Chains A and B, each alone.
Chain A
Amino acid sequence: TQLLEQSPQFLSIQEGENLTVYCNSSSVFSSLQWYRQEPGEGPVLLVTVVTGGEVKKLKRLTFQFGDARKDSSLHITAAQPGDTGLYLCAGAQWNNDMRFGAGTRLTVKP
């Protein structure tokens, strides 16, 4: 079993719709990061959240870190085809061991 569980695993929506992706764990993390990965490339960092309850916004993307620092969510408003990709969450443990979820593969259709 994964240390970080992401849901849904796959998501296909129409352009303009809103969506939320979840990242859950029973473990506490010192920080949590979200990455986006395009086919044939390595993951690229979107955001890092550190404080329990923290909310960060990046244009149409809103990231939230749970109060207990065990879970996080990514909300995209008015999705666009350019948002298509694999979204990965990663939790940093206290020994700097970074663990990743399996990812959510998002497809936004024009």
Chain B
Amino acid sequence: DAGITQSPRHKVTETGTPVTLRCHQTENHRYMYWYRQDPGHGLRLIHYSYGVKDTDKGEVSDGYSVSRSKTEDFLLTLESATSSQTSVYFCAISGGAGNTIYFGEGSWLTVV
């Protein structure tokens, strides 16, 4: 298994509170991604990073921000959580364009 650790794995939070999900990799891969997975929509890209401090938006970036201060860590922040952000969040890594993407085990977030 690729060395990807997501934390927390499960979280319940209240609407309006900030939430940060952490992804840590031990593979020294350049690219890191945050996806959300919802029934009927599959995996949708939120943000991705192609290097330290280099990030870009995906298709569903509104309401989310990211930071990558070290190669191994990619943080996803919900500044003010809403119920529509209840989802399963997956972190992923890859070595480059078209390379295999390896996924973490997911973080289940419920916003009540």
Q: Enumerate chain A interface residues (CB-CB to B < 8 A).
A: 2, 6, 30-31, 33, 40-45, 48, 50, 88, 90, 92, 94-103
Please determine whether A45 and B101 come into contact, CB atoms closer than 8 angstroms: yes
8 A-B pairs (CB sep. < 8 Å) = A30-B97, A42-B106, A43-B43, A44-B103, A48-B98, A48-B100, A98-B94, A102-B40
Please determine whether B48 and A97 come into contact, CB atoms closer than 8 angstroms: yes
Residue of A nearest to B102 (CB): A45
Give the size range of B's interface with the partner.
Answer: 20 to 34
User: CB-CB < 8 A to A31: which residues of B?
Assistant: 98
Top 6 closest pairs, chain A to chain B, by CB:
A42-B103, A102-B42, A96-B97, A100-B43, A31-B98, A100-B42
Identify which of B90, B97, B100 contacts A45 (C-beta below 8 A): B100
Please determine whether B45 and A103 come into contact, CB atoms closer than 8 angstroms: no
Contacts A31-B98, A48-B98, A92-B97 given; indicate if A100 touches B44 (C-beta within 8 A): yes
Residue of B nearest to A43 (CB): B103
**CA distance in complex: A45, B102 (Å):** 8
**CA distance in complex: A50, B100 (Å):** 12
Residue of B nearest to A48 (CB): B100
Contact bitstring B52-96, A, C-beta under 8 A = 1, else 0: 000000110000000000000000000000000000001010101
